[in-house]
Structure formats: structure tokens, C-alpha cells
Amino acid sequence: MIAVTYFVVVLSAALAGAQTATSSASSFKITAEISLDDYWNEMVGPVSVAAVNTTVSPTPVASSELIPPPTLHYPAFPTGQEIPAMSKNESWKFPKDFWWGVSSAAYQVEGAVKDEGRGPSIWDVLTHRATNYVSLNETGDIADNQYYLYKQDIARIAALGVKVYSFSISWSRVFPFGSGQVNEQALRHYDDVIQSCYDAGVEPALTLYHWDLPLGLMNKYNGWLDEQIVDDFVAYAEVAFKRWGQKVQKWYTVNEPIVFCQEYPYPVGYWKSTSIAPKDQQFYCGHHVLLAHARAYHLAKSLGVKGTVAFKNNGGYKIPLTNSSADAEAVQRAWDFNEGWFADPIYLTGDYPATVKEHVSSLGLKFTDEQKRMIKGTADHFAHDAYTSQFYMAPDDGLESCISNSSNPLYPSCANTTYTYPAVDGGWNATDWVPQFLRYIQQKWKPKGGIVVSEFGFSEPFEALKTIRADIQFDFVRSQYYHDYMRAILMAIAEGTNVVGCLAWSLVDNLEWAQGYTVKFGMQYVNLTTQERYYKASFFEYVNAFKVYQEK
């Protein structure tokens, strides 16, 4: 039995599937002895279970699977495909120590949600109980069943020569209620995942938090909205650093805080209520993320953790739609309220950009001088999840009108956005601005350890509607995306931008959060019924860039 504190009204609302909570009861607390099984049953309900529920040993990847797809060039005679040599630009190269790999995240791929002592996360509730939150009401109960198939997944990426596998640890596996009792069985599982990577010649990179907040902490104090989470996150980080800090060389504290903070407010009625205004919640979350990250970073260094520690920022290059001063100001505000929100405190000043600081100060969110000193410099490189670029422009009714109106849907950044060029320039979608983006990061934030493109990938249009495996594997548009993106990184390096690594998203088709399995980013197709994996053409395209351009 594990003690857990929760609000009576929240538990009642969860059981009833209610959408509102009774505010008059919001001050009542009890401490109850409740088993993990009972907690699952009361807060989530029944979950699906995979047919395979023991760890599967890897099998050799068949040589026929390692044959790259044919190109679209065929000679008249003799018959057979012609594969012309890639035209190599001799001025481009990936340095010998440039590291590259593929990524995944625990809730998106692991499955086995109740197995071996894992506690529920907020995503178990969102997928099971929150009405219409996830497309087609799909869940991560089984997902890719990587919890038991990880050895085969590692063997498959090793067979293609992949150097790094970036994955996240499930916080609620290690601490079933988010804090308190540690689940040793989960630690032993990740011991073996890490060792299996090394045994296959693949380096593991660990992310501590990729959005799957333990439900116990959401019920106890609203998760990232309360400063209590800083201590709980650091306690979790300490367990991970002490367990694997001398073995794992690449660490990330949190993934894309911009995204998971902007997920607030979550649907009401499934956890503890809050008095924080919905539009303000993201900034309370961000404030506590910065404190948690910084303390975890210093803890890692004090424990002698080897290798690098950073966090993963996210966003895209911001292009002014016109050359007007209003659009230029909107672009700067977009940078401030996106990347700058977390990058300025960590890489530059220890504090928010001026526009963000003005806003969050009105909420009472201010860093002390001691906290600023603690936050500044807490990343060993600039990790950025960079998928695409967008145009930005001033709101239709002007910047000043938006800034003075908190009910404006664009407030507080007050930057409007579009993916398309103006009509006078053809109205096409924005395409490759990657070299400019990476150069901007280097010039603006001057990261001491260079830049890592820590996620990038592409969702092939309508792929979820395909039924023929050969059609699914021949992902022409995604292949072109990787071809062009790798070329863009090579251009950036040639221009003097210090890009030191990259991680493609994703290892396999997986649960894409609220979009369920309707959207596919995987470089491997997964038959979710049989759990068979198949390489897609894009995986070969990605790997080929390093075969051609990386120094030996």
C-alpha cells in the first residue's frame, strides 16, 4: 500500500466523468491508503493488454530488409534498376564526431501501461476519460509495445548503422505516484534498455520528462502549475542520475516545455481544480520548468554525471511576411514568446526576454537574483526540435490593439502567423529555411557546446489511409524531406554554424498524442495488430546522408 494525498472532489469527479468540480469542497484533503491497482481502477479504468508481455530477445535483421528502395531511373537495356551514384558536393561534410540517431518517447511507444508497477500518467486519463481529447479515442495502452520489444527495435536501428537512440524515461514507472516510493523493477528495466543499446553499438540518450506527468502529482497540486513540482522533479532526476549518470553520456531534462506548458489548461473535472486563470497557466508551468531544469542540471554536475545535460527547446524559423516595421516587431515578439521564453534565461541572462518578463511579472512570477544566477548557463548545448518554418506578421488590427487587449486570441505574443507566402510572391508554402534558422540560434544565444537538432521529421500526407504495405513503405515525400533537411544541415555547417548532432523523429509510427495513430511520423511502419516493423524508404534516405558525407 502506498500513501497518496488527493482532493476528495477530484476523485469523485473522475469516477463520475464529470466536467466540473464543486468549488465549495476544494479545501478538503484526506490521506488514504490505496493500492496502485485501486488507483488505476478509480482514476483510469480498464486498459488494453498486449499479447506479448515478456521481454523478447532480438532476432537478426534479414539481409533482404536492408536493401534500399529503387530509384526512379531504369535503363532500356539490359533490364533491372539503375542506381546512379549520388552527386557529392565536396564542400560539404559531417565532421567525424558529428552524432546522429533517432528518437522516441515513453508514452508514445512503450505500451504496458499497468505492467511492472507503472503508475498512471495524465495521458492515461486524457486517452481514456477526457471526452474527444484524442482522435478516435485511441490510447497508449499497447502502442508499439516497446516495453517488451525494445531489444528488437535497438537491433533494427543498429542494423542500419544508427549511432544514437534517444528515448525518454517514464516518470510514473520510476515513481508510480510521482513521488514517494521508488519502483526498483522499472529501474532494472531501463538498466537493460541502456545496456542493450551499448551491446548493439548504439549510444543511448535519455530524456527525463517527455510530457507524461504522473497523475498523482496532477491530483495532488496540479503538476507544473505549483512550485512543489520542482522538488519532486529534482528527486526523480536524482534517482536517474545516480543510477545511470556514469553510464549515459547524453541527458535532457525536459522535452519541449513550450508545448506541454501550452497544453494547460487541461480538461476540468479529472483532477484537482485550480484558481489560476486558463490563459495564465502556461506561464506558471514555464516558470516552474525553468527552476526544475536548472536545479536538476546543477544536481547532475554535483553528482559527477558524465557527458552533456541540456533541455529540448522547440519552434521554427520566424520569417517576416513583409518588410514592414510592424511585421518585424511581431517576429521579435514571436521569438520572445517561443524559443526566447526558455532560451534567454538559460543561455543569456537568467531571466525572461523583456516582453515576456513584462507579462509574467504582472502575474507575480519573478525570479530572485539567486534564481537568475542558478538558471543561467544550465545547458551544455542548444537542443532544438525544429520541424518547419513559418511567416509571422502583425495582427490585422495592429500590435498595440492586441497588446492592450488580453481577450485577443493572439495575446500576449500578438504575433499572427501563416505558412504561405503573400499572393504577390506566389502564395506557396514556406519551405527550407533551416540554414538561416540554425545560424540565428548560434548568433542569438551563442551556445557553448554547439547546436543539436534534437527532433525533426515529417508526417506523410494520408499515410494512415494506406492499406498496402509496399505503398506505406515507399514514403516519397518524407524521403524528400530528409534529403533536403540533411542537405540544409550540411549547408549550415559549411557556412560555419556549429551543428554537432541531430535526431530524427521518429523511430517508429507511434501514438502522436491528441492525434492518436491517425498521423504517422515513423521511419518504420508498425502493424499495430502483429507489432511487426518494416523500414520505410525515408530511413534509408536519412542514413545515406551520413554514408556519403560523414568523415570516416
- Average pLDDT rounded to a whole number, residues 243-253: 98
pLDDT of residue 87: 72
Question: 462-496, pLDDT tens digit by residue?
Answer: 999 999 999 999 999 999 999 999 999 999 999 99
More confidently predicted of 81 and 49: 49
Can you tell me the distance from the alpha carbon of 25 to that of 7, in angstroms, rounded to the nearest whole number?
A: 8
**Which one, of 58, 71, 163, lies nearest residue 504 by Cα?**
163
Lowest mean pLDDT, pick from 67-81, 153-167, 386-400: 67-81
3-state secondary structure (DSSP) of residue 328: helix
Instruction: Give the HSE-up count for residue 54: Cα atoms under 13 Å, Cβ half-sphere.
Output: 1
Residue 144 has pLDDT above 90, yes or no: yes
How does 278-312 read in b/e, with b if 16+ C-beta sit within 10 Å?
eebbbbbbbbbbbbbbbbbbbbbeeeebebbbbbb
423 CB-near residues (< 8 Å, 6+ apart): none
Q: Which grid cell sits at 110? A: 512503450
Question: What pLDDT band is residue 84 in, cutting at 50, 70 and 90?
Answer: low
396 CB-near residues (< 8 Å, 6+ apart): 416
**Which one, of 326, 335, 455, lies nearest residue 386 by Cα?**
455
- Average pLDDT rounded to a whole number, residues 430-448: 94
pLDDT of residue 82: 53
Strands 416-418 and 308-320: unpaired
Residue 2 CB neighbours (<10 A)? 15
Can you tell me the distance from the alpha carbon of 337 to that of 225, in angstroms, rounded to the nearest whole number?
A: 18
pLDDT of residue 69: 87
Residue 253 has pLDDT above 80, yes or no: yes
Q: What is the mean pLDDT of the chain?
A: 92
* DSSP 8-state assignment for residue 86: P
Residue 52 has pLDDT above 90, yes or no: yes
pLDDT of residue 536: 97
Cα dihedral 100, 105, 109, 113 in deg (nearest 10): 150
Residue 76 has pLDDT above 60, yes or no: no
pLDDT of residue 85: 58
Residue 432 has pLDDT above 90, yes or no: no
Question: 468-477, pLDDT tens digit by residue?
Answer: 999 999 999 9
CA distances in angstroms from 195 to 106, 111, 188, 204, 416, listed in the order given:
17, 20, 11, 9, 47
Residue with cell 530524427: 504
Cα dihedral 179, 182, 186, 190 in deg (nearest 10): 90
* DSSP 8-state assignment for residue 260: H
**What share of the chain in percent tops pLDDT 70?**
91
Residue 99 CB neighbours (<10 A)? 17
Residue with cell 525518454: 168
3-state secondary structure (DSSP) of residue 7: strand
- Average pLDDT rounded to a whole number, residues 195-220: 98
Residue 80 has pLDDT above 80, yes or no: no
Instruction: Tell me the domain boundaries of the chain.
Output: 1-34
Question: 3-32, pLDDT tens digit by residue?
Answer: 443 333 334 334 434 333 333 334 334 456
Q: What sign has the CA pseudo-torsion 426, 432, 436, 441?
A: positive
Can you tell me the distance from the alpha carbon of 214 to that of 119, in angstroms, rounded to the nearest whole number?
A: 7
Question: What pLDDT band is residue 431 in, cutting at 50, 70 and 90?
Answer: confident
Catalytic residues: 256, 455
